[in-house]
Copies of this chain bind each other. A is one copy, B any other.
Amino acid sequence: MNRLTGEGKFVTNLVNPLQQVSQLPIPVGVLGFGGLGQAAAKVLAPKQQIQWVVAADQKGFAVDPSGLDVQRAIATYQTQGSLGYLEPEGTLSTQSIADLIQQSQNVAGFFLALPNLPNTFMASVAQQFIEIGWQGVLIDAIKRTSAVEQLVDLGSQLAAAGITYITGCGATPGLLTAAAALAAQSYAEVHQVKITFGVGIANWDAYRATIREDIAHLPGYDVETARAMTDAEVEALLDKTQGILSLEDMEHADDVILEMAGICGRDRVTVGGVVDTRHPQKPLSTNVQVTGRTFEGKISTHTFTLGDETSMAANVCGPAFGYLKAGILLHQQGLCGLLTSAQVMPQFVS
């Protein structure tokens, strides 16, 4: 069974093929600089193994190969509306993502911290990376099933382009989906995966795009109508519900991701939750319950529960960079194509 002869040679001297990091710190980028992008930059700031060197928002981008300054970047964005105003690292641009990709040949990977509005946006960004000929790792914290399916359709193009793309790398899908994939291992058959999230944010306008994505799941709304809402309209809706968004049976990509990982059919996966847009405390503890039948015929449920003090930002951005590091290690081994958060173990970034 000499399956390794030739092909395997380049790793035969590695003790641990998934723990090699070519050089430290590894340069990475963030696309999008709303609430999620800013949190991502804060998460990156103290890291030794990876370094935040490029970022883009709708109106501009910033590049500093020796590392962008998080505080100054956030202050500039919040006062002037774009990283393009950052001096001297910034550039204003009407095609900020394409321009930044052009300048990112040495960036190992990107966190696409972009709102997926419209629902084809993430796939169109992936397409830009392919067209420009960039090679490296992309991860997203995308939410909708249909958006992940568009990326799956790009799988062979991503592989041919030399891109390792891991989709669904936030909290849900992401951390909770991976926990479900892990929990499933105890069972011969998985009957149900039930994800219930609680999110508390002090001010909804720090996450304007995220809240609109949530509103789009409410009866009577869709992605386009939610996207088109003015801030005043969002405010008026939230006034009617005392700031609470209760979401059931959401179109969430945890279903397709667990189906792709061979764990269960997508119809056995449900996602719902409660978002309180006026209090930082979570209205309930975020958890995933995985029910199945063991080889002995017993029915049981494993439960993974997140600590209430952990914010959405921590549970999205932490895993996201764990997956980015995992992707970089796979990419260094020549593994390209589309993967999901249920197939790869995120690697802790220090």
Contacts and interface: CB of A to CB of B under 8 A. Distances in A.
B179 A12 contact: no
A105 to B, nearest CB: 5
Contacts of A39: 295
Contact of A179 (B152, B179, B331, B347): B179
Tell me how many chains of this kind the complex includes.
2
A316 B294 CA distance: 11
A317 interface: yes
Nearest to A189: B350
Contacts of A261: 347-348
Contacts of A46: 188, 295
Select the residue from A1, A3, A5, A300 with max chain B CB neighbours within 10 A: A1
A10 B7 CA distance: 8
A301 B307 contact: yes
Contacts of A322: 185
A295 B314 contact: yes
Interface string A289-320: 00100111011111111111111011101110
A17 B300 contact: no
Contacts of A1: 105-106, 108, 134-136
A60 interface: no
Given A179-B304, A306-B302, A332-B3, A311 B339 contact: no
B319 A185 contact: yes
A242 interface: no
A315 B188 CA distance: 11
B43 A295 contact: yes
B187 A314 contact: yes
A162 interface: yes
Contact of A156 (B15, B136, B333, B335): B15
Given A16-B339, A19-B343, A335-B11, A181 B348 contact: yes
B311 A11 contact: no
A346 B183 CA distance: 10
A230 interface: no
A13 interface: yes
A263 interface: yes
Contacts of A311: 294, 296, 298
B319 A294 contact: no
Contacts of A347: 261-262, 343
Contacts of A12: 159-160, 162, 336
Given A296-B311, A343-B347, A345-B343, A13 B334 contact: no
Given A3-B332, A7-B10, A14-B156, 4 more contacts: A2-B135, A13-B156, A43-B188, A182-B319
20 contacts: A1-B136, A3-B162, A7-B10, A7-B334, A11-B336, A12-B162, A12-B336, A15-B155, A181-B345, A186-B314, A187-B314, A261-B347, A261-B348, A262-B348, A295-B314, A298-B310, A300-B307, A302-B307, A303-B303, A343-B347
- State the 6 A-B residue pairs at the shortest beta-carbon distance, nearest first: A300-B307, A15-B155, A8-B334, A300-B309, A294-B314, A17-B335
